[in-house]
Amino acid sequence: ELPLLKWVDLSHSTKLTDLSALSKAYDLRRLNLKGCTSLDKLPEEMGNMKQLVFLNLRGCTTLSTLPERLNLISL
Protein backbone atom coordinates (compact mmCIF):
# COMPACT_ATOMS: atom_id res chain seq x y z
CA GLU A 1 0.00 0.00 0.00
CA LEU A 2 0.98 3.60 -0.52
CA PRO A 3 -0.80 5.28 2.42
CA LEU A 4 1.10 8.57 2.32
CA LEU A 5 0.70 9.23 -1.40
CA LYS A 6 -1.80 12.06 -1.90
CA TRP A 7 -0.96 13.65 -5.24
CA VAL A 8 0.50 12.27 -8.48
CA ASP A 9 1.17 14.28 -11.63
CA LEU A 10 1.99 12.07 -14.61
CA SER A 11 0.82 14.60 -17.19
CA HIS A 12 2.27 14.25 -20.68
CA SER A 13 3.87 10.87 -19.87
CA THR A 14 3.33 9.82 -23.46
CA LYS A 15 4.87 6.35 -23.01
CA LEU A 16 2.85 5.48 -19.90
CA THR A 17 0.72 2.40 -20.62
CA ASP A 18 0.02 0.98 -17.16
CA LEU A 19 -1.03 2.40 -13.79
CA SER A 20 -0.88 -0.83 -11.79
CA ALA A 21 1.84 0.64 -9.54
CA LEU A 22 -0.78 3.06 -8.20
CA SER A 23 -3.50 0.46 -7.72
CA LYS A 24 -3.03 0.41 -3.93
CA ALA A 25 -2.78 4.18 -3.44
CA TYR A 26 -6.16 4.19 -1.71
CA ASP A 27 -5.73 7.63 -0.12
CA LEU A 28 -4.76 9.37 -3.34
CA ARG A 29 -6.57 12.70 -3.65
CA ARG A 30 -5.30 14.12 -6.97
CA LEU A 31 -4.27 12.27 -10.12
CA ASN A 32 -3.25 14.17 -13.24
CA LEU A 33 -2.99 12.00 -16.35
CA LYS A 34 -3.45 14.78 -18.90
CA GLY A 35 -1.85 13.95 -22.24
CA CYS A 36 -0.98 10.33 -21.41
CA THR A 37 -1.57 9.32 -25.00
CA SER A 38 -0.53 5.65 -24.65
CA LEU A 39 -2.72 4.88 -21.63
CA ASP A 40 -5.57 2.65 -22.81
CA LYS A 41 -7.17 1.57 -19.53
CA LEU A 42 -7.35 2.40 -15.84
CA PRO A 43 -6.90 -0.31 -13.19
CA GLU A 44 -10.07 -1.76 -11.64
CA GLU A 45 -8.60 -0.97 -8.21
CA MET A 46 -9.23 2.72 -8.85
CA GLY A 47 -12.71 1.98 -7.56
CA ASN A 48 -11.13 1.83 -4.09
CA MET A 49 -9.75 5.38 -4.27
CA LYS A 50 -12.55 6.92 -2.22
CA GLN A 51 -10.56 10.10 -1.44
CA LEU A 52 -9.93 11.05 -5.08
CA VAL A 53 -11.26 14.57 -5.71
CA PHE A 54 -9.36 15.43 -8.92
CA LEU A 55 -8.83 13.22 -11.95
CA ASN A 56 -7.64 14.75 -15.23
CA LEU A 57 -7.94 12.49 -18.27
CA ARG A 58 -7.89 15.24 -20.92
CA GLY A 59 -5.91 14.21 -23.97
CA CYS A 60 -5.83 10.50 -23.05
CA THR A 61 -6.77 9.71 -26.62
CA THR A 62 -6.34 5.92 -26.44
CA LEU A 63 -8.30 5.48 -23.19
CA SER A 64 -11.26 3.40 -24.31
CA THR A 65 -13.07 2.44 -21.09
CA LEU A 66 -13.25 3.25 -17.41
CA PRO A 67 -13.28 0.57 -14.69
CA GLU A 68 -16.70 -0.99 -14.23
CA ARG A 69 -16.86 -0.36 -10.48
CA LEU A 70 -15.51 3.18 -10.45
CA ASN A 71 -17.12 4.51 -7.24
CA LEU A 72 -15.37 7.83 -6.93
CA ILE A 73 -17.81 9.43 -4.51
CA SER A 74 -15.54 12.37 -3.70
CA LEU A 75 -14.93 13.31 -7.33
Instruction: Compute the Cα dihedral for 16, 25, 67, 12 and give only its sign.
Output: negative
C-alpha torsion angle, residues 31, 35, 38, 44 (rounded to 10): 20
Are the C-beta atoms of residues 22 and 49 closer than 8 Å to each other?
no
Tens of pLDDT, residue by residue over 30-54, are 999 999 999 999 988 888 888 999 9
pLDDT band at 7 (very low <50, low <70, confident <90, very high): very high
Tens of pLDDT, residue by residue over 57-74, are 999 999 988 887 777 666
CA distance 44 to 14: 21
Give the per-residue pLDDT at 23: 87
Write down the domain spans for the chain.
1-63
